[in-house]
Structure 1
Amino acid sequence: MNEIITVAVAGASGRMGREVVKMVLGDPALKLAAAVSRSAAGQDAGRMAGLDSCGVEVKSDLESALAETRPDVLVDFTTPHSAVAHTRLAIEYGVRPVMGTTGYTPEDIEELDKLCRDKGIGGLIAPNFSIGAILMMKFAAEAAKYMPHLEIIEYHGDQKLDAPSGTAVKTAELISEARQELRQGNPDEKETIEGSRGGYYNGFRIHSVRLPGVFAQQEVVFGAFGQTLKIRHDSYDRAGYMPGVNTAVKKVMTHTGLVYGFEHYMD
């Protein structure tokens, strides 16, 4: 790809947003067109991210930033309650959304895919950009064909807004594509404390752990007669997501329609 891709970053002052700004500024194939953050408005985006000044002033309003700069791609790591609105806004301006934010329903994804196709642009919603996490999901889906009894346990910091995580939900969806619904456990079991068995999904359970000091981990535990199998992924640093985000920014320029899941960019 010869032309430089221009990128806007929403949630630029957040922990993931700052990593995205650094990644874009460090890649000569990309150009930072805009950075958006209410709390950091007026600052230089490079300095905000801990780098030298880059000449891009952080804006407080996403729509005005998109209208003014008309970037090729929007990378968004904000909050679940703003995810759908930000995606619609990007598509309206002909900007390809790369969304690392959760909070979408299947109906939202269907609608946004149609909007992308109507505009002739690509888009991506990815619950996780980590290569290792995507491999964990793929391996779990494969294992579920042979060991259908399983539970998902995911661990995040205590300030995470959604439970279960988008990664856990995506893992559950991929497993369900490979495994018929099977209601697990004793049919007569009763919870003496409501919710102690976790969330129910297609016959298996998802458990969400929220604790200070935890970053992001997930394991899928499979059980069979005389054996267990655990497939686990641990993230230790947000920089580990950036190779995936970089790939997404470039690949979203090559297709039309909205893709759900970074695994589709790894085929």
Structure 2
Amino acid sequence: MIRVAVAGPRGRMGAMAVETLVTERDMLLVGVLDRKMAEHSATLGGKVPIFTDMATLAEESKPDVLVELTTHESVFRNTRDAIQEGIRPVVGTSGLTAQQISLLTELCREKQIGCILAPNFSVGAALMMKFSAMAAKLMPEAEIIELHHDGKKDAPSGTAELTARMMAESTGAAGKPAAGEEDENSGHGNRVAGIPVHSIRLPGLLSHQEVLFGGDGQLLTIRHDSFSRQSYMTGIKLAVREVMNRTGLISGLDKIIG
């Protein structure tokens, strides 16, 4: 039985994750981390204890895994504290910097435990990223358009950033920028790993991304759409199970789906 805790249970993703995890036969929801909710209630739904700090959560509930679904302001602290307590993080919150990821990687190495960073838990989105990396080898001229709901604060999205880096890494030359052009704003969007990324934030959207590859007389479009947050639940469950058998930091759901 995998003992799981959720950070951010009041958010829409966090609330759905809680509902999903309590139905899994091989998982036991042992607590949630939420500083504000604890002011109003000692338990979530009268059953799951609420904690205001990681140390108390670790001591009293002893989770094996923390599913981190908070905000970019809290994600690094929660992930770092979980690893220090010997809890394996599964992180869906974007906003970690390259320096923070490097620090978390070293901490995982010291503690000899796993951590999975997945800016998008949708299996379909993971496949979209893998296919885009494959296509970049033969069609290096590409741009990314990512569309999200108007409540999403970060831009470009974590999914778009990871997609761009996977595409560039697949060949070492895909979308290679001119000198001084890396990650700068321009009329062609934000450049990530040399690849232009365009961000759209509008009501009515949830999470959508398309990668356009241009070539002589042709256009290839690889697109993924999430119409419901339910699309993320399969990936969360998969990551919770996989992180128990992994050591070190893994970035991207694509790394664990084969």
Q: TM (normalized to structure 2)?
A: 0.90
What is the percentage of aligned positions where both structures have the same residue? 45
**Contact map agreement 1:70 1:93 (CA 8 A) in 2:** no
Which whole-Å CA distance do the structure 1 matches of 2:83 and 2:76 have between them? 11
Which whole-Å CA distance do the structure 2 matches of 1:204 and 1:250 have between them? 33
Residue 79 of structure 1 corresponds to which residue in structure 2?
71
Residue 248 of structure 1 corresponds to which residue in structure 2?
239
Q: By how many angstroms is 1:229 displaced? A: 0.8
Which whole-Å CA distance do the structure 1 matches of 2:234 and 2:116 have between them? 15
Corresponding pairs, count:
249
Task: Return the letter of the residue paired with 1:115.
Answer: L
Which whole-Å CA distance do the structure 2 matches of 1:177 and 1:257 have between them? 20
Task: Return the letter of the residue paired with 1:20.
Answer: A
Aligned pairs (5 A) from 1:148-167: 148-167=140-159
Q: By how many angstroms is 1:266 displaced? A: 0.7
User: Structure 2 vs 1, CA of residues 148 and 66 (structure 1 numbering), >3 Å: closer, same or farther?
Assistant: same
Task: Return the letter of the residue paired with 2:76.
Answer: V
Which whole-Å CA distance do the structure 2 matches of 1:78 and 1:196 have between them? 32
Which whole-Å CA distance do the structure 2 matches of 1:257 and 1:202 have between them? 24
Could you give the per-residue CA deviations for residues 182-215 of structure 1, whole angstroms, max 9, x where no partner exists? 4689xxxxxxxx8432112343310000111110
Residue 216 of structure 2 corresponds to which residue in structure 1?
225
**Contact map agreement 2:156 2:199 (CA 8 A) in 1:** yes
Task: Return the letter of the residue paired with 2:65.
Answer: V
Largest Rg, 1 or 2: 1
Residue 89 of structure 1 corresponds to which residue in structure 2?
81
Which whole-Å CA distance do the structure 2 matches of 1:182 and 1:138 have between them? 16
RMSD over equivalenced CA pairs, Å: 1.8
**Which among 48, 58, 82 is matched to residue 50 of structure 2?**
58
Which whole-Å CA distance do the structure 2 matches of 1:62 and 1:213 have between them? 35
**Unaligned stretches of 5+ residues in structure 1:** 48-52, 186-193
Q: By how many angstroms is 1:263 displaced? A: 1.0
Q: Which region of structure 1 is more displaced relative to structure 2, 66-75 or 207-216?
A: 66-75
Residue 258 of structure 1 corresponds to which residue in structure 2?
249
User: Structure 2 vs 1, CA of residues 228 and 122 (structure 1 numbering), >3 Å: closer, same or farther?
Assistant: same
Residue 118 of structure 2 corresponds to which residue in structure 1?
126
Residue 96 of structure 2 corresponds to which residue in structure 1?
104
**Contact map agreement 1:149 1:184 (CA 8 A) in 2:** no
User: Structure 2 vs 1, CA of residues 184 and 254 (structure 1 numbering), >3 Å: closer, same or farther?
Assistant: closer
Q: Tell me the secondary structure at the aligned position of residue 73 of structure 2.
A: helix
Which whole-Å CA distance do the structure 1 matches of 2:135 and 2:174 have between them? 15
Which whole-Å CA distance do the structure 1 matches of 2:195 and 2:255 have between them? 25
**Contact map agreement 2:168 2:175 (CA 8 A) in 1:** no
Could you give the per-residue CA deviations for residues 50-100 of structure 1, whole angstroms, max 9, x where no partner exists? xxx5x1133344443233212100000111121111111001111001111
**Contact map agreement 1:13 1:39 (CA 8 A) in 2:** no
Q: Tell me the secondary structure at the aligned position of residue 27 of structure 1.
A: coil
Q: Are residue 235 (structure 1) and residue 232 (structure 2) matched?
A: no
Task: Return the letter of the residue paired with 2:143.
Answer: E
**Contact map agreement 2:177 2:195 (CA 8 A) in 1:** yes
Aligned pairs (5 A) from 1:174-189: 174-179=166-171, 180-182=173-175
Task: Return the letter of the residue paired with 1:12.
Answer: P
Moved over 6 A (4+): none
User: Structure 2 vs 1, CA of residues 37 and 139 (structure 1 numbering), >3 Å: closer, same or farther?
Assistant: same
Task: Return the letter of the residue paired with 1:107.
Answer: Q
Q: TM (normalized to structure 1)?
A: 0.88
